[in-house]
Amino acid sequence: MSLGFVITASCSIILGFVTYYLWIWTYWIRRGVNGPRGKPFVGVLDVLLDHEKPGLLQLSEWTKKYGKVYGITDGTQKTLIVSDPSMVYGIFVKAECADNFYGRKLNPLQGNPETDQRVHMLAAQGGRWKRLRTISSASFSNASLRRMMGTVEDSALELLRHIEEKTAGGKPIDMLKFYQEYTMDVISRVAMGQRDTQMFKNPFVDLVRKVFCGDRKNILLFCQVFPTFGYMIRDLTFKFSGKIPAFTLYTVVRDAVFARIAQRQRELEMGAELGESQDFIDLFLDARSETKEMGLTEEEEEKEFSKRGMKVTKVLSTDEVVGQCFLFLIGGFDTTALALSYVTYCLATNPEVQKKVQEEVDREFGDKDVEFDKLGRLKYMDCVLKETLRLYPLAAISNARKCMRTTTVNGIEIEAGTYVQVDTWSLHYDTSIWGEDAMEFKPERWTTDNPLEHKGAYLPFGLGVRQCIGMRLAQMEQKVLLTHILKKYSFETGPMTSIPLKLVGSATTSPENVYVHLTSRHL
């Protein structure tokens, strides 16, 4: 092989590489769509991954400049940013459009949704997603939530004991850290089979904090700019776990699932009956041992699986059991703790609203037990929770879809392979939707059924068929804990309370801390 050939081949590869990335970088220019251009190769990805200035807030700044529909490139992904509610509703809900937007916006570290057997429900698409969603839905049925109620309340009372101990002498506490302990305790017990509370000694907590708070910018940037290497890094990391917190956590979850499988096998060999599922692992393992009709037609299965060389099955594989448990551990920990933290801040800075919530709690429960069937009576608390998530849409990054077939929405052609990301923060603060008081915390705007909640203007838990499956569990956790706390304490601001909150994060938007004083109502 001559030196000239090597040089020519190398130059051709480099030229092809540069041409490809420049073609992506100039995609929206060729389409005549406005938007920030960013840098060659990375686009605006480096800005979106800035932990100190959340990318979701940066989208709001760009929306003010470029309007409700504009384009960005983030690595090799071409993304249309949307904050027009009618367009959002069309993409997420209307069948004629939504059926063409069933993929998620993923980083390669999350796996290839078409081929990776470890992909969980959040990342899955098509027939696999429908199967995982249907099996998982039983975990969040009314009967399942009722069964979890005792565990949730026990964790709430345990947190109350820790709060009482830590606030002795009027000391302020960072409620974010306390809520993280609570949500991890709940999800570890209802999902992972932990039998008793391990609050403030649960090894999962620090590990999951690293998943959300660690500096992942460089590796995420590299993997999204070079997706092929991203998939390779994912596979290697699974084999040599330890460097990336998410994969370390996955390994811990995998070991727990394998241990439960071995335990169940021993019980069956000894003639024990399985009985009712006690946690998510049990439920998913039951799905492995039963063939269930998932509602997929042969045509759907063929379309979504067989053509990609994947085995068509209606039960969960062991990898899928692990993936689902991992997803619920991550999702059940962070978003609910953040929601509680934001509610605490809103109540502490709006004492008149807090008083109304306390009056409702006293009226409905007083000295009575907090019962599952009576949580629905907390109507004003519902309004407070909704308004909090309007002002702080903490998981807005999930409001994104991949266009699977070229589709025209509101006169705009969106090509297959393009991503759509909703600018949820702009949508939730839009004065043309919410009125001139959109910046204000006003729970009363929810005292009557608000049609905006269903028309693409309000997306705290997503929208359409892929709306957050754990929404009702999260709401139950929040109501139970807030009821117990507000029966006994009032939240008050102090010198350590950040007003306004300093927000950080890239995956979710989190307050850096939420320091408040808890003052006893019954001195």
The tokens describing 353, both together, are 């609203």
Tokens matching residue 411? 């006169």
Q: Please tell me whether 468 is known to bind a ligand.
A: yes
Nearest-angstrom CA–CA distance, 180 and 329: 12
Residues 6+ apart with CB under 8 A from 443: 353, 380, 383, 384, 386, 387
Rg of the Cα atoms in the chain: 24
**3-state secondary structure string across 380-393:** HHHHHHHHHHHHCC
What is the β-pairing status of strands 419-422 and 77-82?
parallel
Residue 10 burial by CB count (10 A; 0-12/13-18/19+): exposed, middle or buried?
A: exposed
| CA angle centred on 241, ends 237 and 247, rounded to 5° | 75
Q: What is the DSSP letter of 52?
A: S
**What span, in angstroms and rounded, lies between the C-alpha atoms of 385 and 474?**
11
DSSP 89-157: HHHHT-HHHHTT--B----GGG--TTT-TT--TTT--HHHHHHHHHHHHGGGSHHHHHHHHHHHHHHHH
Q: What's the sign of the alpha-carbon dihedral 55, 56, 59, 64?
A: negative
Residue whose structure tokens are 């709430």 = 156
Residue among 510, 515, 517 nearest 55 (CA): 510
Q: Residue 6 burial by CB count (10 A; 0-12/13-18/19+): exposed, middle or buried? A: exposed
For 99, half-sphere exposure in the C-beta direction (CA atoms, 13 angstrom radius) is 3
As annotated, the binding site for heme includes 468
Annotated binding-site positions: 468
